[in-house]
Amino acid sequence: MKKKEKLHLSSKKHVGGFNQPLIFFLFTCLIFSVTGVRLFWIQIINGPYYKKLSEENRIKLIANPPIRGRLLDRNGVVLADNKLFYSLSIQPRLLTNSEWINLRKSLSELLNISINQLEIAFNKTNSDTPYKKVLLTDLSVEQVIRFKEQESNLYGAQIDIGLVRNYPYKSLAAHALGYTQLITQNEFSELSERGYKFSDRIGRKGIEAAFESELRGKWGGEMLEIDAIGTVQRSLGLKLPKAGKDIKLTLDLELQRTAEEVLSDKAGGAIVAIDSRTGAIRAIASQPTFDLNFFSQPFTNKQYNKLFLSSNLPLLSRAFNAYDPGSTWKPVTAIAGMESGLFPANQKLNTVPCITYGSHCFPEYNKRGFGWIGYEDAFRVSSNTFFYQVGVGAGSKALYDAAIKLGFDNYTGIETFLDENKGLVGNKKWADEGRGWGRPGETPWIVEDMASASIGQSVVLVTPLQLARAYAVFANGGYLITPHLVDANKDWRSEKYLKKVDIQDKTLDTIRRGLRKVVTSGTAMGINIDTTIIPPVAGKTGTAEDSSGGADHAWFAGFAPYDSGEIVIVAFAQNTPGGGSVHALPMAKKMLQAWYEQKSDNELTSSTD
pLDDT of 347 strictly over 70: yes
What's the fold here for domain 54-69+173-249?
A: Penicillin-binding protein 2a (Domain 2) (3.90.1310)
Alpha helices by DSSP H, listed for 198-276, are 206-210, 212-215, 253-263
CA 305, 120, 188 angle in degrees (round to 5)?
60
pLDDT at residue 428 in the model: 92
Percentage with pLDDT > 70 across the chain: 86
Mean pLDDT of 122-138: 67
Cα–Cα distance measured from residue 583 to residue 329, given in angstroms and rounded to the nearest whole number: 18
**From 135-139, 335-339, 572-576, the region with the lowest mean pLDDT:** 135-139
**Half-sphere exposure of residue 50: CA atoms within 13 angstroms, side-chain side:** 9
Confidence of residue 65 (pLDDT cuts 50, 70, 90): confident
Length of the chain: 609
pLDDT of 9 strictly over 50: no
What is the rounded radius of gyration, in angstroms, for the C-alpha atoms of the chain? Answer: 36
Q: What confidence tens digit (pLDDT) does each residue in 200-242 have? A: 889 999 999 999 999 998 877 767 676 655 566 666 777 777 8
Residue type, 13: K
pLDDT of 397 strictly over 60: yes
Confidence of residue 189 (pLDDT cuts 50, 70, 90): confident
Residue type, 41: W
CATH number of 82-163: 3.30.70
Q: Distances in Å between the alpha carbon of 499 and those of 274, 494, 557, 568? A: 17, 8, 21, 17
Provide the terminal-to-terminal Cα distance of the chain, rounded to the nearest Å: 137
Cα–Cα distance measured from residue 546 to residue 575, given in angstroms and rounded to the nearest whole number: 7
pLDDT at residue 133 in the model: 78
Confirm whether 82-163 and 253-290+316-608 share one CATH topology: no
Cα–Cα distance measured from residue 548 to residue 311, given in angstroms and rounded to the nearest whole number: 15
Residue type, 494: S
Higher pLDDT, 24 or 501: 501
pLDDT of 52 strictly over 80: no
Give the contacts of 403 (CB within 8 A, at least 6 positions apart).
Answer: 332, 409, 425
Q: What share of the chain is helix, strand, coil (3-state, %, to 5)?
A: 45, 20, 35
**From 36-45, 125-134, 144-153, 515-524, the region with the lowest mean pLDDT:** 125-134
Give the contacts of 491 (CB within 8 A, at least 6 positions apart).
Answer: 497
pLDDT at residue 53 in the model: 46
Cis peptide, bond prior to residue 536, ω within 30 of zero: no
**From 125-139, 141-155, 529-543, the region with the lowest mean pLDDT:** 125-139
Confidence of residue 602 (pLDDT cuts 50, 70, 90): confident
The CATH H-level (homologous superfamily) assignment of domain 253-290+316-608 is DD-peptidase/beta-lactamase superfamily (3.40.710.10)
Helix orientation angle between 253-263 and 580-608, rounded to the nearest 10 degrees? 160
Instruction: Please give the DSSP secondary-structure letter assigned to residue 327.
Output: G
Q: Where are the domains of the chain?
A: 54-69+173-249, 82-163, 253-290+316-608
pLDDT of 7 strictly over 50: no
Q: What confidence tens digit (pLDDT) does each residue in 502-526 have? A: 999 999 999 999 999 999 999 999 9
**Strand 201-203 to strand 180-182: parallel, antiparallel, or no bridges (unpaired)?**
antiparallel
Q: What confidence tens digit (pLDDT) does each residue in 243-268 have? A: 899 999 999 999 999 999 999 999 99
Higher pLDDT, 308 or 193: 308
Higher pLDDT, 127 or 21: 21
Confidence of residue 131 (pLDDT cuts 50, 70, 90): low
